[in-house]
Amino acid sequence: MEYIEVLALVVCFVVLLGLGLPIAFSIAISATLTLLMNVPTMATLTTVAQRMATGLDSFTLLAIPFFILAGQLMNSGGIARRLIDFARALVGALPGGLAFVNIVANMLFGAISGSAVASASAIGGAMGPRMEKEGYDKAYSAAVNISSATTGLIIPPSNTLIVFSLASGGVSIAALFMAGYLPGLLIGGLLMLTAGIIAKKRNYPRGEKASFGETARTLVAATPSLLMLVVVIGGIVNGLFTATEASAIAVLYSACLVAAYKEVSLSQIRPLLLDTIRTTCIVLFLVATSISLSWVMAYENIPQSITTALLAISDNPIIILLIINLILLAVGIFMDMTPAVLIFTPIFLPVVVATGMDPVHFGIMMILNLCIGLCTPPVGSVLFVGCSVAKIKIQSVIKPLLPLFITMLLGLMLVAFIPEISLFLPRVLGLME
């Protein structure tokens, strides 16, 4: 019976998406219809609505609007320019140095803002014209920006890791945050290696080597922004405050920074707050509908059925991991990260735990999978923003994006099959049992 319900759920969801219905509505309707198959009464509608409401009754979820607001403030307060200058002083003199600058700046800004879309917009808008002026292919510049913008979703603080903690039933946010550093740096490093090889083949120019004084000056200018990471992550890891309290501190810190830089006028504050409210409403509505679907799946024993089916295919952890990775890569192509995390975490977490995989390790692997989906059509938000900022058609960027896409897949496989890349820092800091 459970397999019929799984089929009905999947078919309903795919059909609704195919008809152009927004993903949140597709999720809610699919959940309701699946539950109606077993409980054909009006009480079903009330139950789904209740689950949506109670799903949002979480102190942890308060971190999302706060981190969104902090990211909006950072995005508008001249932070990107200072980070780009610092990245240029560090790596601009390498072969194809502006591509390196783009990647490093995206890693820094993405980590601070917690948004891949904001990072692709801010860094791409600043770096695109510079790279074009230096003779870089426009499509290649956009591809570098798109692929590297996703690193900020792994390097904390990250709203997606907070959502995973909620979906997993309470995996430590501090452990997840620390687990994201090495994988994020690994992906960034691999992208830089690929960019270096391409730069050498295409004979892209080196930038001017920064003097010690210039490097020191750009470091001083960027330090206040980078210190936010120290304050937020340091406070969480040392138990000084929770992730939610840290998000409020991030807003306060960002506001002080923006006021000090004087690059945001009072008239710009209202639009920033409105953008934050809009984004928060979209994210939390997705969270509410996804939580209701997760509850329906649990009620119908769908995760247990899928766990049994996957373990029946093979009891080899490597085979199971490969299957899950392939499914998540496919999911990431067609679904936004937040609902994907909330829906598929309860499905796959019991499977990987049964094979001996740590939930923290699985969380990082899952987010990396879905990050790759942000760079692919038809719903890759970072792909669309990156192309829009670069003023280039999507089909033009696909070819230069392929080697970087393959690089990200290589990084994913390393993270998936070498657990210590994710677990080393949390274990050293005593954040795991």
108-162 per-position pLDDT tens digit: 887 777 778 878 888 888 888 888 888 888 899 999 999 998 888 888 888 888 8
Query: Cβ–Cβ contacts within 10 Å for residue 54, how many?
Result: 13
Cβ atoms of 178 and 154 within 8 Å: the answer is no
Residue 120 neighbours by CB under 8 Å, 6+ apart: 106, 145, 146, 149, 382, 385, 386, 389
At 422, is the pLDDT very low, low, confident or very high (cuts 50, 70, 90)? Answer: very high
Judged on CB neighbours under 10 Å (0-12, 13-18, 19+), 12 is middle
At 342 the pLDDT is: 86
Could you check whether the bond before residue 303 is cis, i.e. omega within 30 degrees of 0? Answer: no
Interior angle at CA 120, CA 75 and CA 365, nearest 5 = 110
Residue 1 scores a pLDDT above 60: no
Query: Cβ–Cβ contacts within 10 Å for residue 133, how many?
Result: 9
| For the chain, domain boundaries | 58-287+302-428
Residue 114 per-residue DSSP state? -
At 94, is the pLDDT very low, low, confident or very high (cuts 50, 70, 90)? Answer: confident
Residue 309 neighbours by CB under 8 Å, 6+ apart: none
pTM equals 0.86
Residue 2 scores a pLDDT above 60: no
Residue 359 scores a pLDDT above 90: yes
Cβ atoms of 408 and 365 within 8 Å: the answer is no
Q: How far apart are CA 5 and CA 33, in angstroms?
A: 10
At 433, is the pLDDT very low, low, confident or very high (cuts 50, 70, 90)? Answer: low
